[in-house]
Structure 1
Amino acid sequence: MLHWLQQYRRAMLPGDISAGIVVAMMMIPQGMAYALVAGLPPVVGIYASIVPPVLYALFGTSSTQSVGPMAIISLMTASTLAPLAAPGSALYGVLAAQLALLSGAVLLACGLLRIGFLANFFSRPVMSGFTIGSALLIAWGQLRPLLGSSEPGWPDAPHGPSAALGLGALLALLWARRYLAGTLRRLGLAPVAADIGAKLAPMLVVLGGVALVAGLGLEARGVATTGAVPAGLPGLNLATSSSHWQALLQPALLIGFMVFLISMSGAQALALKRAEKLSSNRELVALGAANLGSALSGGFPVTGSMSRSAVNFAAGANSQLASIVTAALLGLALVVPSGWLALMPLPVLAATIIIAVLGMLDLSTLHTAWRYDRADAAALLATAAGVLVLGVEAGVVVGLALSMGALIWRASRPHIAVLGRIPGSEHFRNVERYTTETAPGLLMLRIDAGLFFGNVEAVNARIEDELAAQPETRHLVLVLSAVNAIDTSALFGLGELNASLRQRGVLLHLAEVKGPVMDRLRDSTLLAALNGRVFLSAAMAWDQLAREAR
């Protein structure tokens, strides 16, 4: 906190205040709606939007990050807690806070131990598939409250007034998403103000729904509302369930990683626009503190929201003070008369959730992956299908396993090129891609990957295939310019290859060995046993061995 306070200037204050007001207006309907997704009373969404952003402001490194409830994390919370307690029950609320406590502890520990790099194992396609599957799952789950059906699953018997209100809100939000910003610009608003106005459409639609409920008496006609909202700020929550720690630990680990990934993806995108530098380990600490704060104030797991952060950025946020302003206004909303919050119609909140999550259905990553790497595309589709069929946690595990499996498969089959010299030069290229010249009795192979236990057998097999195709070979040169490491298994594999070649009268040479690799080879017995030489470059190996091979 001292870092951004030391650099704070009075000129930054108006932007922070305006951004704090705008985001607070977004947070009221969003927080309450995402609490419903998590299976919690709507007011819990506001509780989870007060303390967490303040704690993030104390420790976080992003000036525009907006921390609070978010659709995907709310869905993961619901899928974790549903088998353990009835949604809406007192135990369910305790477990939600306990899950936030564990997730925060995981994030805090990762930040203090500086192991944020582990999050890199979640690839972009897996994250995209997870987002697509989660968005569809959330949207499907909101059809029943949207139409006011009392039946579980597909709403076969919609409630007329509720369905009219929900579908009307859905159409209004769809129109606002597509046309409102352009309409406001044509009316003379600046582009930034028009975009912010379009982002506030959910708040306006919710207020319209509240007015209709109050004016037409829709609550008496069966339209479900949020109900009485407890007045006052959240109290200190220290309740936990001693019998559920073990059941919550594994989901907390996954939620913690997802919180970090979702938060960092949005924060990094906005930081690039301001040339800000984010610290991943400090972000872990800040997000951990935010979730601990959510647990202690009776909330549930929270993360940075890309949509709210973008609005925070566009509304002029200059520092973390904007988040503190937002939290203060949300606290004020619970202190002043809050009877209007009780009249929020659930069909309208369901419509805001559906529009919000369908906005996350970005298929560009799938399109790119399908054209560039089918294995990544398969991991994306498998993750999305896994989330829809098996559940959130299992879907992520499936996608992660496929992604890591594809990585291991590629690493176990490295590209190996037969090299030839570009005529009249000292450049050596793949004979299948360029017009090159080769020397009889000399075989030069470039290995384009590190050598480790998972690929050494495949490398030796490929070498044997090339030697069989060129039986006149007397000198084999392994060009190691692309090899960054050789592990112990690969070292033994090279030693066995060297011994086998010696018996067949073939000399094994190495060329273009990188410094760190050479440093480790000097401590081994391979160089002393090598029946050939080590050359500084492929050109030097060619100059000396081409003549000897004749």
Structure 2
Amino acid sequence: MKLKRYFPILQWLPLYGKETLASDLLAAVIVTIMLIPQSLAYAMLAGLPPEVGLYASIAPLFLYAIFGSSRTLAVGPVAVISLMTAAAAGNLALQGTPEYITVVLILTLMSGLMLTVMGLVRLGFLANFLSHPVISGFITASGLIIASSQARHVLGLEAEGLNFVTVMYGLIARIPDIHLLTLIIGSGSLIFLYANRRWGRALLSLTGLHPHTADMFSKAAPVLAVVVTTLVTWYWQLDQAGVKVVGDIPSGLPPLTLPMFIPGLWRDLFLAALLISIVGFVESVTVGQSLAAKQRQRIDPDQELIALGTANISSAFSGGMPVSGSFARSSVNYDAGAATPATGAFSAIGILLAALFLTPLIAFLPIATLGATIIVAVLSLIDLPAIKHTFVYAKSDFAAMLVTIVATLTQGVEIGIVAGVGLSLLLFLYRTSRPHYAVIGRLPNSEHFRNIERHEVETDDKIALLRIDESLYFANSRYLEDIVMGLVINQPKLNHLVLTCQAVNLIDASALDSLRTINSRLKDAGVQMHLAEVKGPVMDRLRKTDFLDEMSGVVYMSTYDAWKVLHERAEEAEDKPEAPKSTANSKLSES
């Protein structure tokens, strides 16, 4: 069983049959048709020769088929990771140079090693530090950067820039230099692909095609754009008229590459590799989990780390670039009926055949067409409604999203995501350092308790029931002390304070010291401190200390038990304090 956990292929391969094979082959053909132009485009987006995208779509797909736990996730070059690769490598080498390719290979290997190690030590939870608003903001900003960076190819301009602002400024400044033929090809491809995305499926359905078939044909539209513009450029020799084309792409198998170990370079790339790893993992797991849920299956996040890690390692040793799970191709894979990860292996065979035999046919492919393909592909990444929804729902999350977007657009992808994560953590610490609390009272004729400021409830001026809606740890322990002492000051007849702990999942050492301090101060004020509804794991830890012996009050099983016992005692002896208990067992409620 443990071997099957690390090699999920052993779970589905023994059950592989003819029907499954047919489903996987059909899905593989459709995904391969979609992957060929995308792999070329994303390689160029990363500042690499287009064949690198093909190389990154062969070995990684085979490795993911062995180690991946998702039946439908399609791995390969993706837009956001390509952008992050270009940003990281561009800081250390000039695009188009051998040094740049060396940097990318090292970056790919580092990302693969990080992902694999994280998977082996089960660190999949680290992805939780990337909140959804931060990821959404980062991907939206990345989509805008990608679209703006590809606009120069559609317009036939040489505009450059380090971020969205400088790219847009460069484009606007060079508008008079637009190349007309390139604009016609690029804008024509853009309009066709966008119209197909919006209305292609519906129009094809009107011809009598089954909706599923119409959807598959619609998603293959980029291939049609590539074929038509390549033939037009070849027939009229438009490359000689200034239309930039892909040019000669070497045919053959992916080369065997050995990323160099240069300590200084590895150190400089560490943060970038870590961010690429985490962002790629989050994107892959999000897609994988959503598709698995539709099939009533599950994926293992830690195993996905290993699968993506080995895929990237293989990419580094086969002349590729960083890879991750693609939302668009995975959706197509699912819709086409992919049944197992073998679909990826079959797609890899298709890409391998393309690298061996089809590269001469791509020489006249206009770069403007690839630019249009990328722009339309990343439109789905730009989620402007999410900004509005987040603003309405949670201002703090909106602040983190806004900082991520602005920093990414103006300072670059690495600074953007670091700023977003950093602000999210700071806001989390701020929120949890000042947890919500409520003084609660009993709803009449019931065993339920609610906030006295929101409901008509029964209270007793000698008893205070304080509900803390957060775990207690170092950041909020002093705040709890202030809350309790303020309550004692404002309730002069108070004899009993009950901390109701139904929302407390943790009491760390700092919080325990604060509870000792609170207990001591309450003793001096003639007030007994009690606990109620303490969760089992928290009680287990408290029992390992002498705090329960020191505490002036007792631990009650429920808030109602505490209220019933203390309220009855207050009525029986209004001014007589409760006798302290002398043994550890007496700290548990007798109710």
Give the TM-score of the pair, scaled to structure 1: 0.98
Q: What does residue 191 of structure 1 align with?
A: 211
Q: How does 1:228-267 map to 2 (within 5 A)?
A: 228-240=248-260, 242=262, 243-267=264-288
After superposition, where does 1:33-48 map in structure 2 within 5 Å? 33-48=41-56
Q: Any gaps of 5 or more consecutive residues in structure 1?
A: none
Question: Structure 1, residues 479-533: CA drift from partner, whole Å, max 9, x if none?
Answer: 1222122111111111111111111111212222222222222222222122222
Counterparts of 1:41-120 in structure 2 under 5 Å?
41-120=49-128
CA distance in 2 between counterparts of 1:90 and 1:100 reads: 15
Cα distance change on mapping 1:545 and 1:239 into 2, 3 Å: closer
Alignment of 1:147-226 (within 5 A): 147-152=155-160, 153-154=170-171, 155-156=174-175, 157-226=177-246
How many angstroms does 1:45 deviate by? 0.7
After superposition, where does 1:1-16 map in structure 2 within 5 Å?
1-16=9-24
Q: Give the match for residue 294 of structure 2.
A: 273
The question of whether the paired residues in 1 share the 8 Å contact of 2:37 and 2:223 is answered with yes
Helix, strand or coil at the partner of 2:240: coil
Equivalent residue, structure 2, for 1:130: 138
Equivalent residue of 1:343, what SS?
A: coil
- In 2, the alpha carbon distance for the partners of 1:151 and 1:388 equals 17
SS in 1 for 2:241: coil
> Residues 58-110 of structure 1, C-alpha deviation per residue, up to 9 Å, x if partnerless?
11011111111000000000000112111111111121111111100101111
**SS in structure 2 of the partner of residue 15 of structure 1:** helix
Q: Distance in 1 between matches of 2:67 and 2:316?
A: 17
Deviation at 1:24, TM superposition (A): 0.9
Q: How far, CA to CA, are the matches of 1:235 and 1:522 in structure 2?
A: 62
Out of 373, 376, 396, the residue aligned to residue 355 of structure 1 is: 376
2:35 aligned with 1:27, yes or no? yes
Q: Distance in 1 between matches of 2:250 and 2:320?
A: 14
Amino acid at match of 1:303: S
Q: Equivalent residue of 1:359, what SS?
A: helix
Query: 1:455-474 to 2 correspondence within 5 Å?
Result: 455-474=476-495
Cα 1:80/1:105, change in 2 over 3 Å: same
Q: Quick one: distance in 2 between partners of 1:238 and 1:481?
A: 56
Taking the aligned partners of 2:435 and 2:513, their CA distance within structure 1 comes to: 18
Query: 1:413 Cα shift?
Result: 1.1
**SS, match of residue 381 in structure 2:** coil
2:120–2:306 CA contact under 8 A, matched in 1:
yes
* Counterpart-to-counterpart distance in 1, 2:232 and 2:450: 73
Aligned equivalent of 1:484: 505
Deviation at 1:241, TM superposition (A): 5.7
Deviation at 1:263, TM superposition (A): 0.9
For the residues of structure 2 that align with 1:255 and 1:374, how far apart are their CA atoms?
28
Contact 1:85 1:92 in 2 (8 A): yes
For the residues of structure 2 that align with 1:544 and 1:65, how far apart are their CA atoms? Answer: 58
Aligned length: 550
**1:386 positional shift:** 1.1
Following superposition, which runs of at least 4 residues in structure 1 exceed 4 angstroms of deviation?
A: none
CA contact (8 A) 1:65 1:305 kept: yes
Give, in angstroms, the shift of residue 265 of structure 1.
1.0
Aligned to 1:304, the other structure's residue is in SS state strand
TM-score by length of 2: 0.91
Q: Give the match for residue 577 of structure 2.
A: none
Q: Distance in 1 between the 2:535 and 2:158 partners?
A: 68
Q: Distance in 2 between matches of 1:490 and 1:241?
A: 46
Query: Amino acid of the residue matched to residue 109 of structure 1?
Result: V
2:283 match: secondary structure: helix
Does 2:26 align with 1:18? yes
- Distance in 2 separating the partners of 1:38 and 1:406: 33
AA aligned opposite 1:325: F
Please state whether the residue corresponding to 1:367 is helix, strand or coil.
helix
Q: 1:529 aligns with which of 550, 573, 583?
A: 550
2:526 aligned partner: 505
Compare 517-526 and 158-167 and name the one that shifted more: 517-526
Amino acid at match of 1:267: G
- Return the match for 2:357 from 320, 332, 336: 336
Whether contact under 8 Å (2:259, 2:316) holds in the other structure is: no
Q: How far is the alpha carbon of 1:151 from its aligned partner?
A: 4.2
Q: Tell me how large the CA RMSD over aligned residues is.
A: 1.3
Identity of aligned residues (%): 43
Give the alignment of 1:254-403 within 5 angstroms: 254-403=275-424
CA–CA distance in structure 2, aligned partners of residues 311 and 481 of structure 1: 45
